[in-house]
Amino acid sequence: MALVKTLVIDPDSATQSAVAAALDGRGYEITNIGDGEEGLRIATSAIPDVIIMNAAAPKLNIANFIHTLRSRPESALVPVLFIGEQDAVEKQIQGFQLGSDDFLHQPLEPRDLELRIAVANKLRQKAENTLRPKVDTSNQADFSSPGIMTAFKGTLDQIGLPSILSLIDMERKTGMLVLILEPGKEKARIYFSEGRVVRAAYDKKASPKNAELIYELLAHTEGKFEFRNTMVDSRDEVHRATASLLLEGARLIDEGRRSK
């Protein structure tokens, strides 16, 4: 069985020792990093399965860290276990949070820590299976590439829209993502051609649409989604790559948070 790669971003030797004690001999590979800049470099190059991060680590911009992590397909579903004050962190990562993210309190208790990490990793695997289901082709002709994404659905509180868009982009899927937002059951549709967002619109409102609607939708954390494989008019009305949409959306969310 492959080791669960765990990245710890915290300069405190006591935290590093607590994590090592909790996970020793239980199938984990631990990498300790002392600051946020180096942590982000490792998190987006040698992709971990789980990240434990002190919100007060030096050289750490939490919003930028999470926005970058979730804007890259390879790391979009990696859960982060934060050591820090929950309300303050959640305000900084609004819209980019996963259901598998969690918050830890010091002092770290070994049995609780190992359980939290195991649960976060299981939720990551579940999200991977939702967005990248393995198709049994042993009894049928295979007309698709290995690992290609088929239709999927879920809830936004477990898998945020940034991660969904990143994965669709990576898999170069063509089809339609239907969002039913809470509260009010408002419905929006995002259309993709070979992974690229080409159009976005509400069902019952004329505006906002396209890129402006994507920015608005990124802030939503409650609702349901369903991706449908279907033919799509490939004419591009958005004119921005997925990564650009996500980073601009993150900037606007952060700007709105600061203005309140």
Class of domain 4-131: alpha beta
Q: Which long-range contacts (CB under 8 A, 24 or more apart) does 37-44 make?
A: 39/7, 39/9, 39/65, 40/64, 40/65, 40/68, 40/69, 42/7, 43/7, 43/69, 43/75, 43/78, 44/68, 44/69, 44/72, 44/74, 44/75
pLDDT of the chain, 260 residues: tens digit per residue = 689 999 999 999 999 999 999 999 999 999 999 999 999 999 999 999 999 999 999 999 999 999 999 999 899 999 999 998 889 898 888 889 888 899 998 888 888 999 999 999 999 999 888 887 665 544 443 333 444 445 789 999 999 999 999 999 988 999 999 999 998 899 999 999 999 999 999 999 999 999 999 999 998 989 999 999 999 988 999 999 999 999 999 989 888 777 76
State the pLDDT at residue 49: 97
State the pLDDT at residue 213: 97
State the pLDDT at residue 141: 37
State the pLDDT at residue 143: 35
State the pLDDT at residue 144: 39
State the pLDDT at residue 260: 67
Q: What is the per-residue burial (b if ≥16 Cβ within 10 Å, else e) of 173-195?
A: bbbbbbbbbeeeeebbebbbbeb
- 169 vs 238: CA distance, rounded Å: 14
State the pLDDT at residue 85: 87
Strand 28-33 relative to strand 4-9, pairing: parallel
User: What's the whole-model pTM score?
Assistant: 0.81
State the pLDDT at residue 131: 81
Q: Output the CA–CA distances (angstroms, integers) from residue 220 to 90, 148, 155, 156, in the order listed.
A: 13, 27, 11, 8
- Per-domain boundaries in the chain: 4-131, 152-259
Residue 110: DSSP 8-state = H
The closest alpha carbon to 83, from 50, 57, 120, 119, belongs to 57
